[in-house]
Amino acid sequence: MIDVKNLSKSFGDHLVLDGINQHISPGEKVVIIGPSGSGKSTFLRCLNLLETPTGGTITFQGQEITGAKVEIDKVRQQMGMVFQHFNLFPNMTIRRNITLAPVRTGLMKQAEADEAAIALLKRVGLEEKADAYPNQLSGGQKQRVAIVRALAMKPKVMLFDEPTSALDPEMVGEVLDVMKELAREGMTMVVVTHEMGFAREVGSRVLFMDGGGVVEENTPDELFNHPRSERLQSFLAKVL
C-alpha cells in the first residue's frame, strides 16, 4: 500500500531522516516508537507530504507521490491524519469540522455528509456535541472528533502523530479505545506513540527509530521481550 524507498529528509544541514526503507501492507498496524528527535514524526509527516522529503521515493497504491506531477490533494484525501494537538477548526461547529472536507472535495453532498458525521459521532459517543464548538470540548473529546473528521473522508490509511501526548492521563484511555476499535475493523494504521501498552496490544509491527533511521523492527512481542540492539534495550529500560 505504501512503499518507502531510501527516504531522507534534512532541515538545512541537519539530517533528520537517513535513508529509510519501509513497506506498509493493507490492514497493517505499524507502530513507531523511539526517543524524541529520532525522526519518527517527520517520517510520518513525509508519508502525506506535510514534510517534503529531500531524497528517496514514496509510492502509495502504485502511484509515486514524491514525483513532480502528483495531485497531492487527491492523495491526501485518501490518507487521514490525526495530530498531537487535535487541530480542530475553532471557528466551526463540530458538525462542520467533520463535513467541510467531504463536501468541498466533492466526496459527498451536504445532507449526505451531515448524516455520515452524525453516524461517526455516534460511534465515538459524541453525537450530542454536533453543534458545539471545539473549545467547549475536553481534550479527549477533541481528539475523538479529530479522528472522526479524518474518517469522514473514508481514507485508505490513517496516520496518527502522537495522538495522546497532549492529553491529560485520564483521557488517554478513551482515545486509545477508539483507535483500538478502528484497528479491529481492519483499518491500515501508522501510529507514532509513546503508549507502549497500545503498541503491544494493537501493533502488527513495531518500528524503533533513533537517529533518523529504523534501528529495529519486529512483532511487538519479539521487540519488547527480546530487544536485540543496545539502544532499544536502554530505551525500553527507561520507558517500561
Partner 1 sequence: MALINWLGDLAPRLHRAFIEGDRWKLYLQGLGTTLEMTVIALILGVILGLVVAVVRTAHDQQRLGHRNPLLSFFNALCNLYTTVIRGTPMMVQLLIWSFVIFKTSRNKVLVGIIGLGINSGAYVAEIIRGGLMSVDAGQSEAGRSLGLNYFDTMRFIVIPQAFKNILPSLGNEFITLFKDTSLVQAIGAAELTYYAFTIGGRTFDYMPPLIGIALMYLAVVIVFTWLQGKLERRLRESDRR
- Minimum CB separation from partner 1 for residue 95, in Å? 14
Residue 229 binding partner 1, by CB under 8 A: no
In the bound state with partner 1, the residue whose beta carbon lies nearer, of 135 and 237, is 135
Query: Could you tell me if 227 and 236 are in contact, meaning their C-beta atoms sit under 8 angstroms apart?
Result: yes
Q: Show the DSSP H helices in the chain as ranges.
A: 40-47, 72-76, 94-104, 110-123, 139-151, 169-184, 196-202, 220-225, 230-239
Binding mask 22-41 for partner 1 (x = CB under 8 A): --------------------
Q: Quote the least distance from Cβ 187 to partner 1, whole Å.
A: 16
Backbone angles phi, psi at 59, to 5 degrees: -115, 130
Return the range that interacts with partner 1 (CB under 8 A); candidates 147-155, 167-175, 200-208, 219-227: 147-155
* Residues 54-93 as x/- pattern, contact with partner 1 by CB under 8 A: x-------------x----xxxxxxxxx-x-x-xxxxxx-
Return the bridge partners of 192, or none. Answer: 32, 161
Residue closer to partner 1 by CB (options 14, 104) is 104
Is residue 189 at the binding interface for partner 1, with CB under 8 A as the rule? no
Provide the greatest CA pair distance for the chain: 55
- Cβ–Cβ under 8 Å, residues 122 and 166: no
Residues between 90 and 119 that touch partner 1 (CB under 8 A) = 90-92, 100-101, 104-105
User: Grid coordinates representing 68?
Assistant: 513532480
First to last CA, the chain: 32
**Residue 145 near residue 110 (C-beta atoms within 8 A):** no
Closest approach of partner 1 to the CB of residue 5, in Å: 18
For partner 1, the binding residues (CB under 8 A) are 48-50, 52, 54, 68, 73-81, 83, 85, 87-92, 100-101, 104-105, 133, 135-136, 146, 149-150, 153
